[in-house]
Amino acid sequence: MRKISLVLVAAMLLSAGSILANDFNGVNPTETLKTQISKLLTANVLTENEVNATAQIRFTINKNREIVVLSVDTNNSNVESFVKGRLNYKKVALAQYVEGRLYIVPVRIES
């Protein structure tokens, strides 16, 4: 009888541990990164030539949870320097991330 109760307690602990390990809110790290990048790129002081410009940002996240911009694919050098200046080595708040993973996020600069 004692062995059965110990087995049941062990099974309950293991099942509770696996339930707590699951991600219930299903947060997509790429979506939260897009939101954080959007906030970092707001309040720009670019001229009319740079407004509505598009770019593809290739970046990774280092072990300190900082964005490391690898490249900015755009036709406008001012937009490229603006994006690099605003994003490079800025901390992001992510619960789960893979260090060194390559992210590609398209952006459009608006006034």
> What is the structure's pLDDT at 42?
80
Residue 57 lies in a domain: yes
Does some domain include residue 95?
Answer: yes
Q: What is the CATH number of the domain that holds 53?
A: 3.30.1150
pLDDT recorded at residue 101: 87
* Domain residue limits at 98: 27-108
pLDDT at 103: 87
Residue 9 in any domain: the answer is no
Confirm whether 82 is domain-assigned.
yes
Per the domain annotation, does 61 fall within a domain? Answer: yes
Domain membership of residue 19 (yes or no) is no
Q: What is the pLDDT of residue 9?
A: 62
Q: Tell me, yes or no, whether 14 lies in a domain.
A: no
What is the model's pLDDT at position 24? 47
Whole-angstrom distance, CA of residue 33 vs CA of residue 62: 14
Question: How many helices (H) and strands (E) would you count in the chain?
Answer: 3, 3
Mean pLDDT by 10 residues, the chain (111 residues): 66 58 52 80 70 84 90 86 88 81 84 64
Count: domains in the chain:
1
Q: Are 46 and 79 in contact (CB under 8 A)?
A: yes
Handedness of CA 96, 97, 98, 99 (dihedral sign): negative
Q: What is the pTM assigned to this prediction?
A: 0.64
CB-based contact 52:58 (threshold 8 Å): no
